Amino acid sequence: MRKTTTLLTAAVLVMAAPVCTLAQTVDPNVGNTDTPFIQNIRPDRPGQTVTTNMLHPRQVQLEAGVLRFDPADASWGARRTVSNASLRVGFFNHIELRASQGYLHPLPGTSSFREGSPSPAIAGFTPLTVGAKFLASTNQDARSQVVLLTEMTLRTGDASFLHKSYEPAVRLLVSQQLGARYGLEANIGFRQRGFQAADTKLGQYVGTLALNGPLGGNFGFFAEGYATWQRSTRFLPGLTSGLYWRLLPGLRLDVTAGQQFGNLGAGFTLGGGLSVRLPK
pLDDT score of 144: 95
| Sequence-distant (≥ 6) Cβ neighbours of residue 218 within 8 angstroms | 245, 246, 247
* Residue 268 φ then ψ, to 5°: -110, 140
Separation CA 216–CA 221 (nearest Å): 10
Mean pLDDT of the chain: 86
Stretch 155-172: mean pLDDT: 94
List helix spans (H) across 28-83.
36-39
* Residue 39 φ then ψ, to 5°: -75, -35
As a whole number of Å, the end-to-end CA separation of the chain is 48
Judged by phi (left if over 0) then psi (alpha if -120 to 50, else beta), residue 194 lies in: left
Q: What is the pTM of this model?
A: 0.85
pLDDT, tens digit (0-9, with 9 covering 90-100), for 229-279: 988 777 889 999 999 999 999 999 999 999 988 766 678 999 999 999 999
Query: How many C-beta atoms surround the C-beta of residue 25 within 10 A?
Result: 11
pLDDT, tens digit (0-9, with 9 covering 90-100), for 52-105: 999 999 999 999 999 999 887 777 777 899 999 999 999 999 999 999 999 999
Whether the Cβ atoms of residue 195 and residue 168 lie closer than 8 Å to each other: yes
Residue 125: burial class (beta carbons within 10 Å; 0-12, 13-18, 19+) = middle
Per DSSP, the residues of 1-14 read -HHHHHHHHHHHHH
Separation CA 83–CA 273 (nearest Å): 9
